Structure formats: structure tokens, C-alpha cells
């Protein structure tokens, strides 16, 4: 394929076709990357998007990314120190440190010794997860947007569409939810929806008359959203040429899928900047904590950033509930479905849906990447 074509498509969503041509800082594979003992620096694209969407200076964005990386690495050790009293954890942007909730004050010193801050709470994470599990077994009306465990509130938060809060079915659901355990009710502006779109020429991939975005390269293909296509469905690229086939797909319940590639296409460990910011190499999939910054790349709205708001949230789409989602303050629009969520250089998940848009703002959920990799036995392609 001609170099000019590659520039036009911006290495269309991690995949290129034909002869490799170098565009900007993109590298074909880990094997082609020059070795270096230095700590990889965040791309200019990540920094630029954080400045725009989070209102940070360049220095503040760099400092925050460094702190978030340390907090992400600390999570497992701090949780182990908390033991059975663990009540959840989150990144505090103000202090730049990980905060861990514990129910047993005697464990506080051990957790602090790991470098984390400590907050004493009433309920353990296990108790809150059990409450959420009871809510997952209920049939939720359309006026109930979602629900998740919030470690900062030490409660299960039920999000209700503001205009529907007086609906009898919504009130009945909330009443049953309160019987299950500690529950807090909050309002949200709109009901969630998936971000697939009708066919628009020149975008990353199509299946049937649906346009979606590629998430992350895995060896043998890429991962994306399940609502974008069913197993066995053919996938076409931006130029309408065949890319491959959906090998697995799950929606609702989950919202993930993977596509095998062929016909001269191959994978690269890259998240696109779409010509407006630098492309980002993917170096792993360590899960960022609640409160950390996170950015999204999609074929409609390109690069946008925000914060991780909640994890393990059940999202009540019109097609049915989807479990174990991560909620963010990042905006998205139709066609962004399946696209990449990344924190620093660590893959986080694939775009599922949300509410709002990138003009007025909103919230977007992603299906965590590690769950997808484990479900299908895939290996993330990293630099």
C-alpha cells in the first residue's frame, strides 16, 4: 500500500495492509523496537489530550501520569496488606497517592507501610460486591441507568435517570436495592446507549451496516465491542477490503468480541492519535485505579481524556444489562464503539457505550481488556 494511503488513514485503527511504511513514531512490532533501559516517556498525544480535557498544564499532566503509574503498581501489595478488611482502593489526584479503605483499624499501619493512604470504613469490598450481586439478579427498568460499588462512598451506587426518578418501576427497584445492603442513589442526565453507527465512508471497520472502532491488537487479530458484530460475521476495513471474521462475540451480559485478521492485514501495538496527537505504543494492560486519568481513541471523535469514575458497574442498556464495566468521564459518540481506552501506555478496555457527546460532555463505559484476553485466551500485542 502506498505511503500516502497510510497517512490518510492514520494507520487505520492499529492495522495496516500491504507493505509497512513508517509514519511518525510508529513501530511495526516489539521486535522492531530499539531496546532501551530508560523509562518509556508518555507520548505527546497523551499529554496534549490530558491538557485539553482535564485542564492540566504539561508539567501537571506528566506529574500525574508518574503518580498514577506508581499507584497502579502499588494496588496489589496494598490490598494484600489490608487482608480480609479490604474495602476497595482509588487514586487521589489531589495527593497523588493511592488510598485504601479498611474495616479493621489494626490493619491500617500495615497498609500505610506499603506507601498507600488509609481510610477506615464500615463495609468490606466483599460485602459490597455481595450487595451488587443481588442487584444484578433484579430486572431493572429503563429509568435505572447503572449500578456499581463505590469504595469512596463505601456503598453500592444506583444511578437513576433524573427525568425517571418518580417512575413507579424505578422506585420499586430502588426499594429492593436498599433491602440488599448499603445503597446510595444518584441522578444521571441520560440513559446509556451503545456507540455503534451506520456506515460512513473512510472509517476503520464495518460489519453489515454498522461502523465501529478497533480496540487493541492481539496476536492474530484485534479486540472490540461485542455489540458491533456476531461470531462468524465478516469485517471490512476503511477501504472496504476484507480484514477478517468475528471469532467470538458476547452482548448483552458482556460487551466484547475479537476479530481474526488475514488478507494481507496484520497487527501493531499502537493506539491511534488520528493525526491530531502522536500515536501511542501499548506496553501492557495493568489496570489503573479509580480516580486515575484515562484516554480514549475512536474513529468518530478521535482522542479524548477523562478520569476513571467506577469499576465493576452494571450498565442497563435497552438491549439488556452488561456487567463488570468501567465508567469514565470521557466523552464518546456513535462510531467510537469498540475503540481503545488507555491509561499512560497501559491498555484498559474497549469502548462500549455511554451518554452525552463530545460537545456538551458525558460519560462512557468500557469493557476491561484483561477480561477479554482471559475469556478468549488472547495475548495482547505490546511494544
Peptide bond connecting 124 to the previous residue in cis, omega within 30 degrees of 0: no
Q: Which residues of 291-306 are buried (b: 16+ CB within 10 A; e: fewer)?
A: bbbbbbbbbbbbbbbb
Please state, in angstroms and rounded to a whole number, the distance separating the CA atoms of residues 226 and 229: 6
Please state, in angstroms and rounded to a whole number, the distance separating the CA atoms of residues 287 and 308: 11
Four-point Cα dihedral 276, 16, 244, 201, nearest 10: 50
Q: Is 318 a catalytic residue?
A: no
- Position 22 scores a pLDDT of 24
- Position 195 scores a pLDDT of 81
- Position 196 scores a pLDDT of 66
Note the pLDDT tens digit of each residue in 326-344: 999 999 999 999 999 999 9
- Position 278 scores a pLDDT of 78
Write out residues in the chain with pLDDT < 50, as ranges.
Answer: 1-39, 198-202
Coil vs helix vs strand at 129: helix
- Position 139 scores a pLDDT of 94
- Position 273 scores a pLDDT of 79
Question: Exactly one of 337, 340, 343, 352 is catalytic; which is it?
Answer: 337
Interhelix angle 168-180/125-136, rounded to 10 degrees, is 140
Q: Is 227 a catalytic residue?
A: yes
- Tell me if 279 sits within 8 A of 253, measured CB to CB: no
- Position 276 scores a pLDDT of 65
Question: Exactly one of 150, 255, 279, 336 is catalytic; which is it?
Answer: 255
- 166 grid coordinates: 418518580
Q: Is 123 a catalytic residue?
A: no
Question: Exactly one of 227, 302, 366, 381 is catalytic; which is it?
Answer: 227
Note the pLDDT tens digit of each residue in 286-326: 999 999 999 999 999 999 999 999 999 999 999 999 999 99
Burial of 260 (0-12, 13-18, 19+ CB in 10 A): middle
Amino acid at each position: 500500500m502506498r505511503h500516502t494511503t497510510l497517512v490518510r488513514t492514520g494507520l487505520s485503527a492499529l492495522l495496516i495492509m500491504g507493505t509497512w511504511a513508517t509514519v511518525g513514531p510508529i513501530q511495526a512490532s516489539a521486535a522492531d523496537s530499539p531496546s532501551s533501559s530508560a523509562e518509556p516517556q508518555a507520548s505527546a498525544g497523551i499529554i496534549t489530550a490530558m491538557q485539553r480535557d482535564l485542564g492540566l498544564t504539561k508539567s501537571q499532566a506528566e506529574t500525574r501520569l508518574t503518580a498514577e503509574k506508581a499507584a497502579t503498581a502499588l494496588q496489589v501489595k496494598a490490598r494484600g496488606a489490608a487482608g480480609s478488611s479490604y474495602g476497595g482502593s482509588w487514586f487521589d489526584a489531589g495527593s497523588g497517592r493511592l488510598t485504601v479503605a479498611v474495616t479493621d483499624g489494626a490493619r491500617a499501619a500495615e497498609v500505610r507501610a506499603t506507601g498507600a493512604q488509609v481510610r477506615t470504613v464500615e463495609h468490606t469490598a466483599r460485602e459490597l460486591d455481595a450487595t451488587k450481586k443481588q442487584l444484578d439478579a433484579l430486572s431493572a427498568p429503563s429509568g435505572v441507568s447503572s449500578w456499581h460499588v463505590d469504595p469512596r462512598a463505601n456503598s453500592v451506587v444506583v444511578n437513576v435517570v433524573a427525568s425517571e426518578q418518580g417512575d413507579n418501576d424505578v422506585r420499586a427497584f430502588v426499594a429492593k436495592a436498599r433491602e440488599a445492603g448499603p445503597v446510595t442513589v444518584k441522578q444521571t442526565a441520560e440513559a446509556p446507549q451503545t456507540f455503534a453507527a451506520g456506515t460512513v465512508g473512510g472509517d476503520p471497520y464495518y460489519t453489515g451496516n454498522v461502523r465501529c472502532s478497533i480496540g487493541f491488537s492481539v496476536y492474530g487479530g484485534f479486540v472490540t465491542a461485542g455489540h458491533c458484530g456476531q461470531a462468524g460475521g465478516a469485517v471490512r476495513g476503511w477501504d472496504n477490503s476484507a480484514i477478517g471474521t468475528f471469532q467470538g462475540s458476547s452482548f448483552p451480559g458482556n460487551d466484547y468480541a475479537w476479530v481474526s485478521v488475514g488478507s494481507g492485514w496484520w497487527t501493531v501495538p499502537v493506539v491511534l492519535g488520528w493525526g491530531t496527537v502522536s500515536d501511542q505504543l501499548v506496553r501492557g494492560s495493568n489496570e489503573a485505579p479509580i480516580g486515575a486519568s484515562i484516554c480514549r481513541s475512536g474513529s468518530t471523535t478521535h482522542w479524548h481524556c477523562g478520569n476513571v469514575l467506577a469499576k465493576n458497574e452494571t450498565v442497563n442498556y435497552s438491549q439488556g444489562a452488561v456487567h463488570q464495566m468501567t465508567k469514565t468521564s470521557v466523552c464518546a459518540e456513535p462510531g467510537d464503539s469498540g475503540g481503545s481506552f488507555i491509561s499512560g501506555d497501559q491498555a484498559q478496555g474497549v469502548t462500549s457505550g455511554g451518554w452525552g457527546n463530545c460537545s456538551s460532555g458525558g460519560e462512557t463505559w468500557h469493557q476491561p481488556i484483561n477480561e477479554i484476553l482471559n475469556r478468549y485466551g488472547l495475548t495482547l500485542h505490546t511494544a
